[in-house]
Amino acid sequence: MFRLFCLVLIVTEVLTSEYSLLDQDYYDLDQAPEIYKQFLQKYNKESSSDRFEIFKENLRKINKYKENSSQNSYGINHFTDLTFEEMSECYLGFNGNFTSGDVIEYKPSGEKLPTELDWRTNGYVTEVKDQMNCGSCFAFSAVGNIEGQYAKAHSTTAISLSNQQAFDCSSTPDCKQGGVPHNVFLALAQQGGSMTEADYPYEQVKGQCRTDKSKIAVTVTGGSQLGVNDEDSLQDALANYGPLSIAICSNDQLKQQRGNSIFTPTVSCPSNNHAVLLVGYGKDGETEFWIIKNSWGVSWADQGYIRLIKGRQALNIGSYAALATVA
């Protein structure tokens, strides 16, 4: 029995230490070649001298971010060999220039709200998805909203709907132009609704709108931008309506999130450039936070989710929200 325990312990230590250099409070740049090697192995990437220099510079930035933050939310992830400019071109896709239609003024309910809320516990949120190398975040955000709205309306578990259909049938021409979630709602309403992910899988490229109306899983009747203008009204809308499509301003600090610490940005952000799904809020000690589902896969932040500091309009949160209507 003792030998079996030791064998299990040794195997566990080997498995957990395989990428031990990637998870550190401070990255020694003298160890950068060894850290880069583990990074390549973990994320199945090819070595490049140019990528290594970018990786090393990002390690330096992560160290600086850690020094200037009370929350250790920074670390190595699958974006660490990219510049923010490269990442922005491929992964950010909220474009306010595509905004159209009426903005529905949101009037807070005046009801007492729960002190904590997480719509995942109700089953209204599907698994974290990955938009990959395409600026289709607005479609993923919109689909997440539709999934949640349907599940909440029918008191059921959310089903995974098609991000590709939402992207293909939207007005945006390609992966680089972006869009806004509420226009996706209107586009899908014209199609009769949303198909499932299984029936219309993600392809990471803009294609022709190929809706099969015999396979509509959720009827979408419309949608709109909500006229929220601060975090209080956003919290009220989230509590009353369920998961919301929102826009935020992504920056280099957000790019390098790893783990479940509360993210408190220390760098200002000019304008919204990324769409995500707001699924809850809570409090850790005296610190309030938002719970956000991203579409950058499970290697980013906390299995694809992030806790963002609440009450400071961090990353411009509270400046845009949208809601689908479903049958």
Q: Which residues are catalytic?
A: 137, 274, 294
What are the start-end ranges of the E strands in the chain?
103-105, 117-118, 220-227, 244-248, 274-284, 287-293, 305-309, 321-326
Strands (DSSP E) contained in 19-164 are 103-105, 117-118
159: buried, middle or exposed (CB in 10 Å: 19+, 13-18, 0-12)?
A: middle
Which 8-state DSSP code applies to residue 227? Answer: E
Per residue in 71-83, is it b (16+ CB within 10 Å) or e — as a string?
A: bebbbbbbbbbbe
Separation of alpha carbons 88 and 254, rounded Å = 11
Enclosing H/E stretch for 298: none
Angle at 46 between CA 40 and CA 51, to 5 degrees: 85
CA distance 314 to 117: 19
Residue 95 C-alpha from the chain's centroid: 16
Q: What is the 3-state secondary structure (H, E, C) of 182-214?
A: HHHHHHHHHHCCECECCCCCCCCCCCCCCCCHH
Identify whether the C-beta of residue 234 lies closer than 8 Å to the C-beta of residue 323. Answer: no
